[in-house]
Structure 1
Amino acid sequence: MMQTVGIALLGVGTIGSAVLRTIAAEREALAQRTGFALEVRWGLARHPERVVQAGLPEWAATTSIDPILEDPTVAVVVEAMGGEEPAATYLKRALTAGKHVVTANKEALSKHFAELVDTARRHQRALLFEASVGAGIPLMASLRQLLMVNRIYRIRGIVNGTTNYILTVMAEEGMPYQEALREAQRLGYAEPDPTADVEGYDAAYKLSILASLAAGRHIRPDYVERRGITTVTPDQILDARARGGAMKLIAQAELFDGSWHLSVQPVFVPGSDLLAHVRLNLNAIELTGDRVGTVVLYGPGAGPAPTASALIADTIDAVRFGAALLPTLELPA
């Protein structure tokens, strides 16, 4: 029997619009594969006309989250706004109102992880965030499965496609940093204000989420030792190539003597290391467990289509499994 799932979409920018397009294009196929008919009933944006431009009817547009929380036909709130606030407040309010929550927001999640998990647990609702790290790479699903049996003691990888693209073209085409950044912006890989990416904040948020899951407790992003790529010089790029390797922005979390040590910084990666060969805007993440050894996940770490894919898959899982997929996280008393 087909089940209709009412969805409210917070944010109808690049990612939110991709979610709407994907649902519209794949509605019948999704229903056949999953048994769920997805219906977007609300779109929240600062300007209602943006919601209409994204493809929803005028009556579905709202600038306030209140009608969404009061609508009993909305089962899942999908958040694609970005930024810490008001997104973090909206996520908590949605969970408190009895809605499942799906988000791609690494900043809000990394800074409010314990609070959001606690709220979801108390109200027995799903909180899913596959799209927050690695976009379309099934990273959270893989990590969740590994953690059933393994103690994960090391996470290492390239988790920011913008900086990886910049470093790649600097090395392969000899572009100066500023020119490489402008090219990344032209292609849509970098924001007009690239600070979050190039200074390592984005990677730190993502590492915080992964490390929190591995540690079983909230490790805040300000605990991450962080240095961006703006300090990388052309001489370092040339020297890395001459030595057969590459400069990469590496995010790493490792367990030493019972304590987690987290860092995001540009480092030389030798050519014998798989990460040295991850090019352009792709991501690659190594997860090392005491039973399985090292598992490597590789793929597009950003982009509207991969991110929308993860958000929609999480929406279906939220309805299917509910709070059963909540992470095991030590919460404050």
Structure 2
Amino acid sequence: MQTVGVALLGVGTVGSAVAKTLQDKGDELARRTGLRIDVRWGMARHPERVVAAGLPEHAATTSIDPILEDPDVVVVVEALGGEEPAATYLKRALLAGKHVVTANKEALSKHFAELVAVARERQRALLFEASVGAGIPLMASLRQLLSVNRVERIRGIVNGTTNFILTMMAEEGVAYHDALREAQRRGYAEPDPTADVEGFDAAYKLSILASLVAGRHIHPERIDRRGITSVTPDQILDARTRGGAVKLIAEAVYKNGDWELRVHPVFVSGNDLLAHVRLNLNAIELTCDRVGTVVLYGPGAGPAPTAAALIADVIDAVRFGPALLPRIDPAG
């Protein structure tokens, strides 16, 4: 049995879910994989959160330095969110010789090429299944597809908060602000919902997917982005009358030698599978030159699915190391 030392950067909702999952499922995971995952550190602004997550008091730190200096830490799991200091910590962890697993779509989408280049230089894993699809095995599926296929179109619902709001508006007939309050009450939306409702979160995720498919960094600033705050009850009713739905669709299409990217609320016909994706679920279509269209559907957010994806990436990081690194041209 191999013991794998892990450090958690961030012990909030997601980081705590990782710690709890390992406490509940650690023995079962060890039997299945031959790996005993030992959370040696939890970094948090408030050390009491580390203890509240079930980790010992001596594991708490407010600094990344002891984590990077610990030779027994093999994998750093980043669940801080936001661009900084997360992007700096991801780079420092790779430079220190640690494998890195992250759920951070903003930091990754804005620094993708640089982080992949550092991981390749240091021969360390950089895995991010949880950053786009949470519980949907999207990166693993995309790796398999890209080994033979050329992906020509990405299209999907990649933000559960906005999909929940639009579903409530359509099915319950409530106004946008009432649907948003319900999403916040259920924990689907943050107190400041800007990143979700203005389409930033979806743009970050589309940036990562498009970069993987294009083989070069496509920065989220390139994406034509519009959120759902302007969607009216009349538009929702009109869509239902026409047998479809209004959905926030993230789309990247390869045309004339380049990628066109957008995140917009649009009418989706009732004949389209995406029209029937309800509440906080996600669905992503990948249209390929060989296999045609593949649809991946499931829970794209939430602490439990995200934690499961992070832990699966920890296992893959140890098993496969840098072999799973995407091919991203550092020159863009």
- Structure 1 length normalisation: TM-score? 0.99
* 2:178 alignment counterpart: 179
Counterparts of 1:291 and 1:257 in 2: how far apart (Å)? 19
Deviation at 1:55, TM superposition (A): 1.2
Residue 35 (structure 2) aligns with? 36
Alignment of 1:1-333 (within 5 A): 2-332=1-331
Q: Deviations over 1:71-115 (max 9, x none)?
A: 000000000110000000000000000000000000000000000
Q: Could you list the per-position Cα deviations for residues 229-276 of structure 1 after superposition, in whole angstroms to 9, with x for gaps in the alignment?
A: 001111100000000000000000000011100000000000000000
> CA offset at residue 43 of structure 1?
0.3
Distance of 2:134 and 2:316 partners within structure 1: 16
Q: CA deviation at 1:331?
A: 1.1
**Larger mean Cα displacement after TM superposition, 169-178 or 51-60:** 51-60
Q: What do residues 181-218 of structure 1 show as CA deviations (whole Å, max 9, x unaligned)?
A: 00000000000000000000000000000000000000
Q: Distance in 1 between matches of 2:331 and 2:32?
A: 40
Q: SS where residue 230 of structure 1 aligns?
A: coil
- SS in structure 2 at match of 1:271: coil
What's the offset of the Cα at 1:332? 2.4
Amino acid at match of 1:310: A
Q: How far apart are the structure 2 equivalents of 1:292 and 1:129?
A: 25
- What stretches of structure 1 move > 4 A for 4+ residues in a row? none
Once the two structures are overlaid, the 10-residue window that deviates more, 54-63 or 221-230, is 54-63
The residue type equivalent to 1:314 in the other structure is D
How many angstroms does 1:293 deviate by?
0.6
Amino acid at match of 2:328: L
CA distance in 2 between counterparts of 1:316 and 1:134 reads: 18
Which letter does structure 1 place at the counterpart of 2:219? R
Deviation at 1:52, TM superposition (A): 1.2
Aligned partners of 2:280 and 2:252: how far apart in 1? 22
The one-letter amino acid paired with 2:251 is Q
Secondary structure of 2:284's counterpart equals strand
* Deviation of 1:53 (Å): 1.4
Equivalent AA in structure 2 for residue 161 of structure 1: G
Q: Residue type of the partner of 2:329?
A: E
Secondary structure at the aligned position of 2:147 is classed as: helix
Deviation at 1:143, TM superposition (A): 0.4
CA–CA distance in structure 1, aligned partners of residues 331 and 36 of structure 2:
38
Size of the aligned set, in residue pairs, is 332
| SS of residue matched to 1:82 | coil
1:58 CA displacement: 1.1
3-state SS of paired residue (2:153): strand
Residues 29-61 of structure 1 show CA distances to partners (whole Å, capped at 9, x for unaligned) of: 100100100000000011111111111111110
Output the amino acid matched with 2:95.
T
Task: Name the aligned partner's letter for residue 325 of structure 2.
Answer: L
Normalised TM-score (structure 2): 0.99
Give 5+ residue unaligned stretches, structure 2: none
Q: Matched residues in 2 for 1:248 and 1:47: separation?
A: 38
Question: SS state of the match for residue 142, structure 1?
Answer: helix
The secondary structure found in structure 2 opposite 1:291 is coil
